[in-house]
Structure 1
């Protein structure tokens, strides 16, 4: 019989803010709560949003995070109801997915209740700090504070080898466990009908070449290069429909840049999409998923594309490209520049048979089911709890 646990997932963002880490936290909580006990999510409140998850979500007071919209800065110390509620929960283990406010809450619970804490390193924090603070010295100081946080937890996880290497570069010297991400994309029986609905909604013809980007609209994800690459293939006479899905602080500037280049008839911004069937159908209809980010670790969107047989084009040598084998289960561009990326798009679409084969191989080799990942997470939690209890002589 499985040992039931009471677990907490702590992150500084959650639905309706959709990014890779939100996706991770949501799937951790859903599957752990469904199969292995009770799992809570603790996260900043979002104005006007009402949680409808199948697991409990605990929100605390927050304010807008300037220059990082739509993210919020949590102020849990000001939220008496949250503090009163969470201290009554008899957690067995807490898991921090962010080293800031939510991570501090998880650490306080760990210390006070003498329970283990796991922390996952998800992001290139130095890049984030540099983008906001502009000054390298300040970014390095903040990065050192992040490493201090990871030095104070029981076990550190990363989602890929590349993420572990970055963590080491930041100065972390402790042990790291690699626990990969999964995907909740399952191809439904009515996928063809869903794709047809999406084609009608977006006025897509059967013969149209459809290109897709899904992710936060932030400059770190190389989205300016992506638009410039699309401009390059436009000038070469390539006909296509390009869809951007997501939100972020750079969205308005990116839209303005598209208009400046005269590409608005080819490129559409669909905003944030919470309807998973609609998102699945977009991935399924896309001929090629474009993801030139040099910022991301093990991006879930590449798995989501793979789940429906759509291959991705990434920049060679990046963490996002870690599982892609060029021309086998996806495609790589050797140079991080717009012209090279555009040329690679044209090469790929000119060989539709190889494009189709790469999508089939992506589905076999890149896609991982979240339920299987969480089975492993649960086993790791049990081992961590046992080790912690033995160390602290807790029966």
Structure 2
């Protein structure tokens, strides 16, 4: 069995959780031999065709809906895990689930893959102000990746972050995918969604999808939009997070509630697709994210993104070709928005090129992932401390 390990999984929805969900769905469809290992969640239903094994957890203060896992004290879970036979463990984070993946890989002598998704230093620094403790935790994270047989990153530019943390080993680039694409009904869906949201003729629709946390530079979006308040636009935020209420308050204080709207979490992928399809531009000025799925999802529906020049997540974007870039200045960002609102043809053309240059289907990604798994499993078996003589296997001593 292939084990996918991560500290969050639906109903928690973020980029890594969605990556895990698509890995599990397509690998199960291909092999019928995959499982997910993740913390318990009181809202989870796990109506999947593949098994999901959950262990004890508790809410993380100030990080709702994320949970802290405690697999070591969950004896029924540990017993269940010990009875499973794995061919490969793939960890998508270095915390409780990652430690479990290491435990399984060592006890069953199987390959371990670890994907580096997030800028963990930023997350840790928000909670811990002591630089010595932060550096110590980063060193522990680097040691985790050093234990893996292969370390994967979702985009080439992510390697720089991992090197900054002190990791010196080899990395493999394995891109993320998107499950959202245009179809025959998309043109009508765009019209109906814009009508439902009250977008008038001649108005631009801007969109942000993701956690409402200041690390994603969402305050930058609000400040930029305040500078173009007199232009015809509507802005929609999808998601939730600790900064939500303060964002709402800021919008109200600036008398922009009639132009900036908060839609909350959207778990239904078809509903989310309708928002991407209806939007003219996806605004994502984050310096925090590595390789955000949301930029690819928007591109898959021909909605180009406006990002910050030099950001890790903008690595695959060529300005005015498959996306748009701005300098890290509220004034520049606002000017760029105004420029693009005046040039809808350019926006449309760039959206088309974005869909053809930065988007791959999750099914295609899963095929690549499975081939990589098989090569690593075969290599591990070939190099294992066993030899065959006359058709009989002997353990080397």
TM-score by length of structure 1 reads 0.95
> Which residue, 167, 176, 201 being the options, matches 1:172?
167
> Which residue, 315, 318, 323 being the options, matches 1:325?
318
Structure 1: 4+ residue segments shifted above 4 A: none
Deviations, residues 55-106 of structure 1 (Å, cap 9, x unaligned): 2211111101112221100111222332222222211101000000000111
> Which residue, 99, 112, 116 being the options, matches 2:111?
116
The residue that corresponds to 1:384 in the other structure is 376
Distance in 2 separating the partners of 1:344 and 1:332: 8
Deviations, residues 118-151 of structure 1 (Å, cap 9, x unaligned): 0000011111111111232222111111001111
Distance in 2 separating the partners of 1:78 and 1:195: 50
1:149 is aligned to 2:144: yes
Larger Rg: 2
CA drift at 1:200:
4.5
CA drift at 1:336:
1.2
The residue that corresponds to 2:389 in the other structure is none
Instruction: Give the aligned length.
Output: 387
Contact 1:129 1:139 in 2 (8 A): yes
Query: 1:174-193 residue pairs with structure 2 within 5 A?
Result: 174-193=169-188
CA drift at 1:323:
0.9
> Which residue, 185, 192, 204 being the options, matches 2:199?
204
> Which residue, 298, 317, 325 being the options, matches 2:291?
298
> Which residue, 52, 58, 62 being the options, matches 1:63?
58
> Which residue, 337, 352, 356 being the options, matches 1:345?
337
Cα distance change on mapping 1:81 and 1:207 into 2, 3 Å = farther
Structure 1 stretches lacking a partner, 5+ long: 1-5
Structure 2 stretches lacking a partner, 5+ long: 387-392
1:101 is aligned to 2:101: no
CA drift at 1:163:
1.0
> Which residue, 362, 387, 393 being the options, matches 2:354?
362
Query: 1:79-90 residue pairs with structure 2 within 5 A?
Result: 79-90=74-85
Distance in 2 separating the partners of 1:118 and 1:161: 17
Stretch of structure 1 that moved more, 6-15 or 255-264? 255-264
CA drift at 1:18:
1.0
Distance in 1 separating the partners of 2:374 and 2:360: 22
Distance in 2 separating the partners of 1:343 and 1:329: 19
CA drift at 1:258:
1.5
